[in-house]
Structure 1
């Protein structure tokens, strides 16, 4: 049974949705009546709107209901252009998509700049003002009476009959879903999934949080505009009632019920909502209640919607079919470390206070290429605060942070990452719903990536970057001994492996400076051996390594230079031998009492 399952899993994932698309194209030849045809057309139009919402909600993590307003913009733009003489359906689709994109940018830029719930509120008000906007321009739009007089559409000068229009709707839907799938399966889609779980991690990987969210929201507007253009030519009449708040709730319910973090969940949710509501003769009266019920079922009964439920079942089957693997120490030792170009990182007189608490006071450190610089000290001494300032998460109150003499203090964290500073976190920050390989590959975002358009259209530049990403991800996994875990879910790994996964993700972009924040905590003996060997090999290859660690013996074994912090200041600085023999370090950091003799010597207890 497990062999059969593995064979099925070996089939490319795009085969199944393509087969469904072909089946939809062939349905008219099976004698399908008009009522069913119309429901399928309305389902696909709804699915186009939902897939755009899924991109911003399910992948970028931004609750926004503006798709209904973008849908209205696309419909009215296509309808008005039709009345102006543009009857070609393909030109109308482009016009509708452009109108929706403009609405998306107008609402998305201020909404995302303000942060928090601002985008949700902005998009919510967009829906409420649609009827008023149509009334203001009622001479052109027909106001609350609707837009009539739309001429039948043409395609390259040829009139379109009902069956041809059905094929156009199905074909456009297939193309849109294929392009959206390409986006989500690219490094941009992975970046959005990381961003949804942790904007902090996304920034540390070189992802601009604002730009990524705005891109997702703007791209998500395009399918809604396309849907609007298709809808305008379906009945050749547009009514404001089609874009009411109840419809916005239907779109949201379809997204949640089908699975917002799934491209094809949009189609599942749209099918259930469209055909389910069609069974209600009093839909207008009970539409909100029906949508609310689907929201509760999708959000409470099974987290992640129907697509999430299917994903969980597939994951369980994968686990049952595969054996668990341990970390490979031998594989890690054999993995190649290429020569690396480190950078001189320097902090000079860096200070930081949080309210009345002085976290750092004039801290100066130098980390040279080809060296391991350790920063140790008791809890609360400011070690992680210093790393956060180097990474760009905190701004300095005073002092300078430079990378090869170029000042980086004040730069946003994603720009610091792109400058060549990579890091791990004190608590492993591992994204959900990504495999180990995908989580490591995501770390390449700062090193180089194809643009959105090449990724969506699968242009040669995308494939070049894809090959480079996969090669580097495989090499990074081998370095930490996790190659055999590549297809497991990253969030299912034990603590030690998660820490090594973070190291691999930090290395995959070939950074100049690597910041390791208590990475040895929770590692077993084999994992600690892999880490120790790796850190030494990175140093020998030329990288600048900064190690913040509580494992004093590990620090003494690997560090070339050690800084000891206490109460936000540098208490001691020297080599391993100097630090180990420093009485003040032994007493304040390790808690070892020192009895000074009259001659100034002392015995360590």
Structure 2
């Protein structure tokens, strides 16, 4: 939309109007600006002294709810793991800190970290059974965890006080709170919690824009695709549960020293439902949206106490309205979608130049991938029957055959998705048979899929950078803290991603979300992501399917470039003309068995191949 503005000359100049997109962009930039954040923090620290004690206490509840909501945002919004028992982690933090301070004489400054570590350890332990279930079963398992915790605190009278609760916890509301020798009232405690919340939000932003946050999103979208580029789904989910539990435990510990009384009813199922509603309405993935939602759901019930009995009916109506009208929540309405590479990394990478030739294996012996007599059975069905082949560096091998002949199953065996019933897969001198998919990727055997499995809301550049995940050596703590070493290393790999973007012809669309781009572009982006994982063997599963003639020409050139780099390439495709210009040899499967191995000209004359696969096409050829 544009608006006409008449200047003194009488000419009409078209200027962009202030539309919703421009407002979101401006608001996003304002909220993300460090000066605005510092000014807002200073205003809250200084302005709190002008508020009533009741308002300050409610504001403290808002901050605690914001931290609690971030724990759900991380686990569900980023990592895609549903939780209906988060009140358990909240309660672990609250009871642990409260008991240590009241009964054991700990200082709050020591008790809160212990509570956070205990909640994190509980989350890590819970991740093991959580890794074995999906969807509704995962929700039920986490709900069971919350119910078990509730029963423990209700029945463990000697420690938690049972149904009578745990009164007398040193708290700001009771004016009995002392931290490191300083007695704190409600205002002092609000300022402390505000600083803690600001630190949590800063670390959450850094985490989201780091290799850890991007890995969370990758397993959220597809654990199999994440594993294919070296992201281990199991340990990544364990980390997500541990960090989420730590955040919930921190919120619970702060809550305990705000109210001074802990009862089982504060950590029952309604608490888990409440924080989940806050997170969804705020917009999963949006940090600022979570803060606004926490403010809404904390102040509103306090101001409308007359409707307290109808509170959860109101929550249900608000949640339904949000899912129907604002599926991306408050954050999606007010702010632009978040990005997942730190601006400092982008600025530093802009000053670096990378040569795609660096993707060539350097100083390494040329090793072949060897498949020896691999058989894969599913019950009584033999999908692959005694297949043997060899992929050599600098050569392209085509794997063809009719649908259902076992091509993708063989690739799944080689890439670690399936463990073969019989046979071996060796890369050089190493036996990689039965290794998990991320371990195979770490051995530098990387694959793509029949359908591009990319993170939809990531840009092309962000998707490509996922390929470098296993190559980034800095720790999760360095990534979350944004340490210089982590910034420098990520910038180096981002510069290489820029080189791959140019190689794949994707530079012009590098900053566009992948779900807004055509199918052919997504195909090229997935191949580029696999290339950025620095493979020595690359398995391309029907990469030309659905591409236009021009797109196939661009893909063919990229495959030739990879061959020139010395990579061993396995190429599955049904387009014979596309293969004829590329491949050095052809392997043909039929009903899981190899029926031909040789050049493409010989394949077109082979009677078995003609009967099983080529048919009239061979006659016309």
Q: TM-score, normalised by structure 1?
A: 0.89
Measured after TM superposition, the shift of residue 523 of structure 1 is 2.2
- The 3-state SS of whatever aligns with 1:222 is helix
Match among 158, 162, 172 for residue 143 of structure 1: 162
Match among 46, 55, 58 for residue 65 of structure 2: 46
- The 3-state SS of whatever aligns with 2:455 is coil
1:24 alignment partner in structure 2: 44
Go from structure 1 to structure 2 and tell me whether the alpha carbon gap of 1:502 and 1:284 turns closer, same or farther (over 3 Å shift).
same
Alignment of 1:483 with 2:504, yes or no, is no
Measured after TM superposition, the shift of residue 525 of structure 1 is 3.2
Match among 376, 383, 393 for residue 369 of structure 1: 393
Equivalences for residues 128-277 of structure 1 within 5 A:
128-151=147-170, 152-277=176-301
Cα distance in 1 between the residues matched to 2:538 and 2:330: 41
Measured after TM superposition, the shift of residue 80 of structure 1 is 1.3
8 Å CA contact 1:335, 1:478 repeated in 2: no
Give ranges in structure 1 of 5+ residues lacking alignment. 316-333, 595-602
8 Å CA contact 1:79, 1:232 repeated in 2: yes
Describe the superposition over 1:202-259 as per-residue Cα deviations: whole angstroms up to 9, x where unpaired: 1112122121112101101112111122111113222322223222211111011111
Match among 527, 538, 551 for residue 551 of structure 2: 527
Go from structure 1 to structure 2 and tell me whether the alpha carbon gap of 1:309 and 1:205 turns closer, same or farther (over 3 Å shift).
farther
Match among 400, 420, 445 for residue 444 of structure 2: 420
Match among 433, 457, 465 for residue 489 of structure 2: 465
Give ranges in structure 2 of 5+ residues lacking alignment. 1-14, 171-175, 340-354
Cα distance in 2 between the residues matched to 1:283 and 1:405: 71
Measured after TM superposition, the shift of residue 442 of structure 1 is 0.7
Describe the superposition over 1:454-482 as per-residue Cα deviations: whole angstroms up to 9, x where unpaired: 11122344223312321221122111010
Measured after TM superposition, the shift of residue 48 of structure 1 is 1.0
Q: Structure 1 residues 3-12 or 38-47, which shifts more?
A: 3-12
Alignment of 1:120 with 2:144, yes or no, is no
Match among 77, 87, 110 for residue 91 of structure 1: 110
8 Å CA contact 1:246, 1:287 repeated in 2: no
Describe the superposition over 1:32-65 as per-residue Cα deviations: whole angstroms up to 9, x where unpaired: 2223212211011111111101111111111113
8 Å CA contact 1:518, 1:550 repeated in 2: yes
Go from structure 1 to structure 2 and tell me whether the alpha carbon gap of 1:422 and 1:213 turns closer, same or farther (over 3 Å shift).
same
8 Å CA contact 2:31, 2:37 repeated in 1: no
- The 3-state SS of whatever aligns with 1:571 is strand
Measured after TM superposition, the shift of residue 278 of structure 1 is 1.9
Cα distance in 1 between the residues matched to 2:295 and 2:367: 55
Cα distance in 1 between the residues matched to 2:28 and 2:336: 14
Go from structure 1 to structure 2 and tell me whether the alpha carbon gap of 1:545 and 1:65 turns closer, same or farther (over 3 Å shift).
same
Alignment of 1:63 with 2:87, yes or no, is no
Match among 459, 464, 482 for residue 435 of structure 1: 459
8 Å CA contact 1:372, 1:558 repeated in 2: yes
Cα distance in 2 between the residues matched to 1:580 and 1:311: 57
Equivalences for residues 228-377 of structure 1 within 5 A:
228-282=252-306, 284-310=308-334, 338-340=359-361, 343-377=367-401
2:3 alignment partner in structure 1: none
Go from structure 1 to structure 2 and tell me whether the alpha carbon gap of 1:114 and 1:578 turns closer, same or farther (over 3 Å shift).
same
Match among 98, 122, 128 for residue 109 of structure 1: 128
- The 3-state SS of whatever aligns with 1:558 is coil
Cα distance in 2 between the residues matched to 1:507 and 1:277: 53
Cα distance in 2 between the residues matched to 1:276 and 1:305: 17
Describe the superposition over 1:167-215 as per-residue Cα deviations: whole angstroms up to 9, x where unpaired: 1010000111111221111011111111111111111121221211121
Go from structure 1 to structure 2 and tell me whether the alpha carbon gap of 1:529 and 1:269 turns closer, same or farther (over 3 Å shift).
same
Equivalences for residues 440-519 of structure 1 within 5 A:
440-519=464-543
8 Å CA contact 1:343, 1:513 repeated in 2: no
Go from structure 1 to structure 2 and tell me whether the alpha carbon gap of 1:338 and 1:123 turns closer, same or farther (over 3 Å shift).
closer
8 Å CA contact 1:249, 1:288 repeated in 2: no
Matched length: 578
Measured after TM superposition, the shift of residue 575 of structure 1 is 2.1
Q: What is the CA RMSD across the aligned residues, in angstroms?
A: 2.6
1:575 alignment partner in structure 2: 599
Equivalences for residues 377-416 of structure 1 within 5 A:
377-416=401-440
Cα distance in 1 between the residues matched to 2:337 and 2:236: 31
8 Å CA contact 2:540, 2:570 repeated in 1: yes
1:34 alignment partner in structure 2: 53
Go from structure 1 to structure 2 and tell me whether the alpha carbon gap of 1:540 and 1:126 turns closer, same or farther (over 3 Å shift).
closer
